[in-house]
Amino acid sequence: MIKNFDRYFEKNDGLETDYMKILYYDLDKDFKGTYKSYQYTRLCTISSGSKHIKVNEGKEFTYAQSDFILLPPYASVHMEIPEKTIAVVYELSDKLLEDTLKKVEIKHEIDVDMTSDLVKKNLLMPQINAHIERIKQYALSDDPNKHFLIDLCSQELAYNLINQYNLSFDNRKKQEPVEYTIQCLKTNLNDPELTVKEIAFALNMSPSNLILIFRRATGMTPKAYHNRLKLNKAKELLIHKNVSEVCYDLGFESLSYFIKLFKGHFGITPKQYSMKILQGKY
């Protein structure tokens, strides 16, 4: 089980199938942290305990075992744990939502995009709960075909979420790969594990093709663009943090690499920049 919201553990833990990834969290009492949904929709449930959350620096509420929330891509949740809590999160791939929408006729006529305004506490209805429980049982079983069985159940779950909660698939990433990539880079500003390969996979593109398209649009590679974003953020952080803290917070490979990039872009080292701030020259 995952004890915190470190992106490294989220990428390397849990159970992943073609359609979803299941993440298990064991959170201690009084734990506080910021949780992100990154590029996919997440269905968040609680097996025991409760969470008090603030979504995207706005709406606040507490939810427990009888509730669930749907986090759209790129949501940011500040979380406080008032008691020891076991949580299970189901990351729903775009392929799951897209395939489900292609195969079935949905009752509602209005296509509603998932946005932070729609993030709310939902009562865990019996039908939704039944799908979740079946998925959990398969995930914990020794059945050699459990990945296949989970994906069968996930389609039923997706159908009901789309039908009852207006969950929709945002297809813009395929039409706007550069904008999607920029959004990924901004959202994962301090994630050293983020790779072009990962973004390209989400776009169903090859990394080389993504780099080519991105360079044509921006004049730089995704990695260079990511570093540019981090360097601009570093200037803000250096106002009240030291160089090592800023380097660590932004996920740079090493302190020397951070200093080299900073000086190459701004013409002075981070330390010199901090000194000028203290002297009132910036």
Measured CA to CA, the distance from residue 139 to residue 158 in angstroms comes to 17
pLDDT at residue 111 in the model: 40
**CB-based contact 260:229 (threshold 8 Å):** no
pLDDT at residue 204 in the model: 79
Query: What confidence tens digit (pLDDT) does each residue in 121-141 have?
Result: 888 889 899 999 999 999 999
**In sequence order, which ranges of 166-239 are alpha helices (DSSP H)?**
172-175, 177-187, 196-202, 207-218, 222-237
Measured CA to CA, the distance from residue 183 to residue 169 in angstroms comes to 17
Greatest Cα pair distance, the chain, in angstroms, is 66
**CB-based contact 63:46 (threshold 8 Å):** yes
Spans of the chain below 70 pLDDT: 56-58, 105-119, 168-175, 281-282
Radius of gyration of the chain (CA): 21
Q: What is the model's pTM? A: 0.70
Query: What confidence tens digit (pLDDT) does each residue in 14-66 have?
Result: 999 999 999 999 999 999 998 888 878 999 999 999 999 987 666 789 999 99
What is the CATH code for 172-278?
1.10.10.60
pLDDT at residue 56 in the model: 61
Residues 6+ apart with CB under 8 A from 208: none
Residues 6+ apart with CB under 8 A from 9: 2, 3
Burial call 239-256: b when 16+ CB within 10 Å, e when fewer? eeeebeebbeebbbeeee
pLDDT at residue 147 in the model: 97
pLDDT at residue 49 in the model: 96
pLDDT at residue 205 in the model: 87
| Ranges of CATH 2.60.120.280 domains, the chain | 7-165
**CB-based contact 77:53 (threshold 8 Å):** yes
Q: How far is CA 115 from CA 40, 73, 76, 280, in A?
A: 12, 8, 12, 41
* Class of domain 7-165 (CATH, top level): mainly beta
| Ranges of CATH 1.10.10.60 domains, the chain | 172-278
Q: Residue 204 is inside which H or E element, if any? A: none
pLDDT at residue 122 in the model: 84
